[in-house]
Structure 1
Amino acid sequence: METSEHRSLCHQLAEDLSWLEGHCRRQAGLEEHVGRLRLAAALVRNCVGPFLEGEPPRPLHIAVVGGAGSGKSTITNFLVGSNVAEANPQAGFTRHPVAYAQNNGTLHWPVQYGFLQPLTRLSNGAPANLDEDVYQIRHVSANSGYNLLQDFVVWDCPDMTTWAATGYVPRLIEVCGLADVVIYVASDERYNDEVPTQFLHFLMAAGKPVVVCLTKARETEAEALRQHFEKEVLAKLPGRQAAVLIIPFLKPEELADPVKHAARYRVPLLNQIAVLGNSPATARQRTVRAAVNHLAAGTDSFLESARADLIALDQYRSLANACQVEFEQRYFREYLTSEKFRRFDEAMVKLIDLLELPGVGKVISSALYVVRTPYRLLKGLVQKALSRPEGPQLPEKPVLEAALSAWLDRLKAESLRRENSHPLWAHVAKGLDDGLNAGAKKKLEETFRGFQMGLADEVERTSRAIYADLEKNPVLLNTLRGGKFALDVAAVATPLVTFGLSPWDLVLVPLALSVTQMLVELFGKQYVESQREQTRRRQYDLARALVAKPLGEWIAQWPLSGGSSFEQLQQVLNRIPQSIRKVQEAVEQVSAAQTGEVRA
């Protein structure tokens, strides 16, 4: 994979994670998901992206984090070796990240598109309490024998306060994504506060190397505090164990010059950093591998952030499917059950006519027709007496339009009832007053045209096949004709043989011929009716396939169309797992190549 492909891949993944973060931020109760997604995007932007584009490992980045008033700026001064960070008794004084780097002009700063993207770099200095989405770099000179800033940039970060903070907490998380080492600072008074502990859990789960500094403790209580912290806090957290250092209350002179007056506390901290960053290339690879492992392991949790959206979408689709079933049943009930399919009546007449003898036999058939005249007259009178006037049948299209209106009305009622439960329902309710309603009716028009064309062919083909198939099979046709003629002959012969020639023959012969005709018509009618019902069922299936199904799919997918946020959500949820797998593969390839170069 080329560098440009790496850049495009990381940019897309970071954008998707950021979009999902913003989507979660607009919903209550998803604050922790917001933080996790912000860190995931920061890992891609600031850690994985530069690595894949070949950025050198030096400098490594140290993020100093902690709760309000814990002493972060003091620890920053310890690391830098100068009293440069603005330690302030006011809790929450630092509102944007401040980076401390050496002032010899050798600092290499990544220039990749998207690096620390949500934050703007200040070109001029500003106080640390500037509450804007910015960061600044302050250059300092080394005043100690060990110059940490040769290999590291030290970040003094805003407070860990609450997941819901939309201001400086995201700035803190952005730098945590960049960090190769995290210094977690907690005072002995508030070392077990819930939110900072959640942040510590959060960072250790992401695979960040953490050094814990417990501040403001009495020296006589230092060891007891360490043991208590390890038991009550660290033992309950996942991942590797963090080193714990105690930095007690410091005197003013120790705060003013930590190099000279607080070396016994500062040196152990520097040693921990030196171990973690002994080889910048190895440390950076460790950071990147931990980042992609966290992304891979957290894929399900990233998607879980959209669980409420997916549940709402499933509920909407289930409702749309239920409405589709009602639409189909209403069409069958109000139209198909009363549809007569008149072509089958015509087919019935043609079938009976086809069974009459052809050629010279027509003379015999005509004679038999005359003999059956009383039967035909009587049958007509009975049918007229028993038949009821048919009610007017509703046309097919108005039935479908009424069924669609009922479908949309039910969607409207349900969406109004549920609109406070999730934004999707408000989106649907609004759409039913605008594009969804009109679009569904337009979709019905489109599908109905195709349905009519297919339906006309189906009815014509089936009704015609009743007699056309028989015409194409002369053997079967002649067999049926012969059978019918044999019945007629038997009907005439039976009275004559039984009673001989008598006046009763004038009654018995027409009666017997009427019975044979009635039997033939009965069997023919049963066959035609079975074909009529099959056609009714096929028309129902055709309506489901060509009208109801496309219409149902269109309505079910409507929230995920037209550039809506739910369409974007679906696209993002589909892309994120694929992008994470590709990033993981790319990191493995680049790491293997770098390892090979080092060995060579």
Structure 2
Amino acid sequence: MSDTITTSDIAAPQDAAALLHRFLRRLRDRRAAQSASRPQQPADANDEQRALTLADAAMSDCLGDDDWLRRPRQVAVVGPTQTGKSSVVNWMLGAPVAEVSPLAGFTIHPQGFARGGDIDAPWTDRLFPGRRRTPRAELSRDDLVAYSLEWVAGDGCDPDAAFQVVWDTPDFDSLAATSYGDAVLESIALADVIVLVLSKEKYSDLSVWRLLRLIEPLARPLVVCVNKLTPDSAQPVLRSVRERLSEFGGEYRGAPVVALSYLERASEYPPSAAELRRVVREQMEAVDRGARAPGACRLIRAHWDAWVAPIEAETAAQHAWRDVCAEAIRAALEAYERDFLNHPQRFDTFRRAVVELSQLLEPPRTAAVLGSVRWLA
């Protein structure tokens, strides 16, 4: 791939999307390199980098062939640290397939659990561009560009679940998430339904609502799951979550909220797990994959000005520098002509210096003759 994108790259109207995707990817990589050289970035700069990553993943999901239209339905379970995302995955599938740990940041790779479809079909090759599919048992903290996708044993699974692949994802709010947070955004980009898992400790975190603002333009169906609720905390927490959702537009304003009670043992199932599965099924029935491209366009429009502002500023600075250089050269030439070429006294001195310099540079036998000729001229 060349380093320059030109209009000749557009062979047909449908190539415009691919061209835009190439531009966004290069812009994302450039900003990532700049961020690496300046680790202390303002929050809005980090948000725009995340938006670029999400837009890149969303466009990757729509471009190319139509395999993505034929793949099984996808559910991405996302949330901050220690909200119980892996437990929610198990409750949704009706089987203890996702490994649960009390340690923060335990899950650092996207881990898919399939209930339907051929997990070796071509659609699996495009799930996470740039990541390697790896058996779940071989996922390593030393290899963050990997994901897993495995079958779920059918005996203990919920037979009525409409979804076919559920993704357990890393957190997005810990300090370590800066190294694997892109996996969360890529999981959201491929999802048909997003299940946001909160808890009574994490429901008001700023990172949660910043993420929702970021993904809102995609308009993917959303289910909010508030986990680990105690009897005395349920009503105020749920009320606060619904009030925050009311600040959003579109479908997120009335997104369904499911309450899950606190459990002493991870192996237990909350009474409302069945309600969670029912709500996700309802959201899945309303999925329209034809709306993915418009959603990606809304995301790009929402952030376009912020993305291209540094490029426009750099271009303006380059033009201003060229203007300064051109003016300096013009002024220097004007002064040279005025003070030397057109000056009645200094011009003779200048001509003599030129003749003497020529004599030093030319063959000895011809220097004197050439000098007299130049002087007469």
Normalised to the residue count of structure 2, the TM-score between the two structures is 0.77
Aligned residue for 2:63? 49
Contact 1:277–1:283, Cα closer than 8 Å, also in 2: no
Aligned residue for 2:3? none
For residues 163 and 304 of structure 1, the distance between their equivalents in structure 2, rounded to whole angstroms, comes to 25
Contact 1:96–1:130, Cα closer than 8 Å, also in 2: no
- Structure (1 or 2) with the larger CA radius of gyration: 1
Q: Quote how far apart the aligned CAs of 1:196 are.
A: 2.4
Q: Which runs of 5+ in 2 are unaligned?
A: 1-10, 355-377
Secondary structure at the aligned position of 1:69 is classed as coil
**CA shift digits 1:449-491 (9 cap, x unpaired):** xxxxxxxxxxxxxxxxxxxxxxxxxxxxxxxxxxxxxxxxxxx
Alignment partner of 1:283 out of 261, 285, 288: 288
The change in CA–CA distance for 1:318 and 1:19 in structure 2 (over 3 A counts) is same
For residues 139 and 6 of structure 1, the distance between their equivalents in structure 2, rounded to whole angstroms, comes to 40
For residues 389 and 56 of structure 1, the distance between their equivalents in structure 2, rounded to whole angstroms, comes to 83
Q: Quote how far apart the aligned CAs of 1:244 are.
A: 1.2
Contact 1:205–1:238, Cα closer than 8 Å, also in 2: no
Aligned residue for 1:323? 325
Normalised to the residue count of structure 1, the TM-score between the two structures is 0.50
Secondary structure at the aligned position of 1:216 is classed as strand
Secondary structure at the aligned position of 1:125 is classed as helix
Aligned residue for 2:54? 39
Contact 2:339–2:346, Cα closer than 8 Å, also in 1: no
1:161 aligns with 2:140: no
The change in CA–CA distance for 1:105 and 1:192 in structure 2 (over 3 A counts) is closer
After superposition, residues 153-552 of structure 1 pair within 5 angstroms as 153-161=165-173, 165-231=177-243, 233-240=244-251, 241=253, 242-252=255-265, 255-256=266-267, 258=269, 262=270, 264-278=271-285, 282-295=287-300, 297-298=301-302, 301-335=303-337, 390-392=345-347
Matched to 2:294, the amino acid is R
Contact 2:119–2:150, Cα closer than 8 Å, also in 1: no
Q: Quote how far apart the aligned CAs of 1:129 are.
A: 5.9
Aligned residue for 1:94? 107
Alignment partner of 2:84 out of 71, 80, 100: 71
The change in CA–CA distance for 1:265 and 1:5 in structure 2 (over 3 A counts) is farther
Aligned residue for 1:125? 137
Q: Pairwise CA RMSD of aligned residues?
A: 3.1
For residues 100 and 212 of structure 2, the distance between their equivalents in structure 1, rounded to whole angstroms, comes to 22
Query: Identity of counterpart residues, as a percentage?
Result: 22
Matched to 1:45, the amino acid is S
Aligned residue for 1:22? 29
Q: Which runs of 5+ in 1 are unaligned?
A: 341-387, 399-600
Aligned residue for 1:360? none
The change in CA–CA distance for 1:307 and 1:287 in structure 2 (over 3 A counts) is closer
Q: Quote how far apart the aligned CAs of 1:8 are.
A: 6.2
Q: Quote how far apart the aligned CAs of 1:270 are.
A: 1.5
The change in CA–CA distance for 1:245 and 1:45 in structure 2 (over 3 A counts) is same
For residues 164 and 13 of structure 1, the distance between their equivalents in structure 2, rounded to whole angstroms, comes to 31
Q: Quote how far apart the aligned CAs of 1:307 are.
A: 2.6
Q: Quote how far apart the aligned CAs of 1:163 are.
A: 8.7
Matched to 1:41, the amino acid is D
Q: Quote how far apart the aligned CAs of 1:137 are.
A: 0.8
Secondary structure at the aligned position of 1:185 is classed as strand
Q: How many residues align?
A: 330
Q: Quote how far apart the aligned CAs of 1:193 are.
A: 1.2
Q: Quote how far apart the aligned CAs of 1:111 are.
A: 4.0
Contact 1:204–1:210, Cα closer than 8 Å, also in 2: no
Higher helix share: 1
Contact 1:31–1:163, Cα closer than 8 Å, also in 2: no
